[in-house]
Structure 1
Amino acid sequence: MGKSVIRIGSYEIDDAELSTPEAKGGDKVYIPCKSDPDLCMQLDAWDDHTSVPAILDGRHSVLYKEKYDSQKDEWIMRLE
C-alpha cells in the first residue's frame, strides 16, 4: 500500500493509504482517524450506501463506506 492524498469536501487527508491493485476485495482506501477526527465523526454519521465524492491523488473518485477498523482506528472505504 502507498500513501495517498484524499480530499472529501473541505477535509484533506495526506496520509491515507490506497490498496494495491492486486489486493483481494477490490480497491480500498484506508483513512486514519488520527489525521482528522472531525472527518471520522462525519463518516460515522453517513449511511453505508451513501456515495462520497472525493479527489484521490488529483483524480475524481467515488467512495463508499466499507467498515471502521477499531483496532487501527481507521475507516476502510471502497473505491469505485
Structure 2
Amino acid sequence: MFTFLVLGFVLVTLAIVLAVIGLHALLLGRMPGRWLQQRVRQPRFWGAGAILILISWNLRSPSFLVVGFGLVAIGHAVKTPR
C-alpha cells in the first residue's frame, strides 16, 4: 500500500515538473537550466511535445502520446542553418 502511494506521488511530481518545463519552453522559447539548454535545440517543439504527452496521459489517447514524443524528438534535433 505504501509503495503505491509513493509511486503515485512520484508520478504526479514528475507530471508537474514536465508541465512547468514544457510551458516555460513553449512560451519563452528557451529551456531552463544549463543542462537542458545544451541538449534541446528547438525548445518550442520540445515544450509542445511535453504538453501533448501530459494531455495524452489525461485523455488516454495514444495518438497524442505518439505526436508528443515526436515533437520532443524534433526538439532535440539540430537546427538547420539559415
TM-score past 0.5 threshold: no
Q: TM-score, normalised by structure 1?
A: 0.32
Structure in which a larger fraction of residues adopt helix: 2
Q: TM-score, normalised by structure 2?
A: 0.31
Q: Which has the larger radius of gyration?
A: 2
